[in-house]
């Protein structure tokens, strides 16, 4: 189900109020319904030699238009090849453990395919990508050991496909995603051990696919999601040991498929009850299990 069609700037359609239907309450142990989210890419990352520019181009000129094809940044000198280009017709792969400066990408406003940012040991932020407003395909930010925030993506409005933020051990917040309004596919925030806040997502109103928030050991709340109104598929909040409340989901009214709130050791079940009271459309099934056992008094009708 798609809530909006992404072209750089889109308008979010209003969510129609509905009723609970065909709910299936699943209690007890996790039955292993996880989806394999392996994001390894076999995409061709060879650079298109016919499209390469003079590396002496001043990026402030921004006069080279669109780079045709895919491009991989594997060394610092590769960054200069894209200086002056304003868009990429294919995908951009940034996999450069030795790189520490993306400033020569300052003209880039859009990537039609994937934007892959993985295994970059030196980046503490993503400065240099400040003009990027849209990614047509996947945006993957994974295993960047020194990345502490996402500053540099401040202009990003829409991601057309999958958005994964995973395995960034120094990432403490999502500042830098403050302009992001919509994600067209799956959005997963997982295994970021130091992530304490989602405040950078304060403009996000819709996720057309699944929203999974899992294995973020330092995350105590979801306050950055206060503008989120709809999830097009599953909402899963699992294995976040420090999570104490769901107040950040206060605007959420629609979950089209399954709701999973499980294995959050510090999260009282009453928090789930309160969330269910406000949702007017969906879900079709639920799993609420292995959170902090407490007593809801009185027990809301919607609470398992």
pLDDT at 303: 58
Q: What is the pLDDT of residues 138-171, one digit of tens each?
A: 999 999 999 999 999 999 999 999 999 999 999 9
The CA dihedral of 93, 95, 96, 100, to the nearest 10 degrees, is 70
Q: CATH number of the domain at 45-289, out of 2.60.120.10, 3.40.50.300, 3.80.10.10, 3.80.30.20?
A: 3.80.10.10
pLDDT at 289: 85
Q: What is the pLDDT of residue 296?
A: 58
Place of tokens 């496909």: 161
Using the predicted structure, report yes or no on whether residue 1 has a pLDDT greater than 90.
no
Instruction: Specify the higher pLDDT residue, 27 or 291.
Output: 291
pLDDT at 13: 34
Local confidence band at 276 (pLDDT 50, 70, 90 cut-offs):
confident
Distance of CA 52 to the CA centre of its chain: 31
| pLDDT range class, residue 304, cuts 50, 70, 90 | low
> For the chain, what is the mean pLDDT?
82
- The residue to which tokens 């299936």 are assigned: 24
* pLDDT bracket for residue 53 (50, 70, 90): very low
pLDDT at 23 over 60: no
pLDDT of 21 over the 70 cut: no
Reported as a pLDDT band with limits 50, 70 and 90, residue 17 is: very low
CB 249 within 8 A of CB 259: no
Please tell me which residue, 304 or 261, carries the higher pLDDT value. Answer: 261
**Residues forming a β-bridge with 88:** 67, 111
Per-residue pLDDT for 97 more than 90? yes
- 58 by Cβ neighbours in 10 Å (0-12 / 13-18 / 19+) ranks as exposed
- Please give the pLDDT value at position 247: 93
């Amino acid at each position: 189900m798609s809530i909006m069609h992404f072209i750089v700037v889109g308008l979010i359609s209003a969510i129609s109020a509905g009723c609970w239907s065909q709910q299936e309450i699943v209690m007890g142990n996790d039955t292993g319904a996880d989806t394999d989210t392996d994001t390894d890419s076999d995409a061709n990352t060879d650079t298109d030699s016919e499209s390469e520019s003079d590396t002496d181009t001043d990026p402030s000129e921004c006069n080279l238009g669109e780079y045709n094809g895919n491009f991989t940044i594997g060394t610092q000198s590769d960054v200069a090849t894209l200086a002056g280009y304003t868009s990429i017709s294919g995908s951009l792969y940034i996999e450069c453990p030795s790189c520490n400066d993306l400033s020569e990408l300052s003209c880039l406003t859009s990537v039609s395919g994937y934007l892959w940012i993985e295994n970059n040991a030196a980046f503490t932020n993503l400065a240099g990508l400040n003009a990027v407003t849209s990614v047509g395909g996947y945006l993957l930010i994974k295993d960047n050991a020194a990345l502490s925030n996402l500053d540099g993506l401040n202009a990003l409005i829409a991601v057309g496909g999958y958005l994964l933020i995973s395995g960034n051990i120094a990432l403490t917040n999502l500042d830098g995603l403050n302009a992001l309004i919509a994600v067209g596919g799956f959005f997963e925030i997982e295994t970021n051990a130091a992530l304490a806040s989602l405040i950078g997502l304060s403009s996000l109103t819709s996720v057309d696919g699944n929203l999974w928030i899992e294995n973020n050991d330092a995350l105590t709340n979801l306050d950055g999601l206060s503008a989120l109104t709809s999830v097009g598929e599953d909402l899963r909040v699992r294995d976040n040991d420090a999570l104490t409340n769901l107040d950040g989901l206060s605007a959420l009214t629609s979950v089209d498929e399954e709701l999973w709130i499980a294995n959050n050791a510090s999260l009282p079940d009453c928090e789930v009850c309160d969330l269910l009271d406000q949702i007017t459309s969906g879900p079709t099934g639920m799993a609420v299990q292995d959170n902090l056992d407490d007593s809801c008094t009185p027990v809301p009708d919607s609470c398992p």
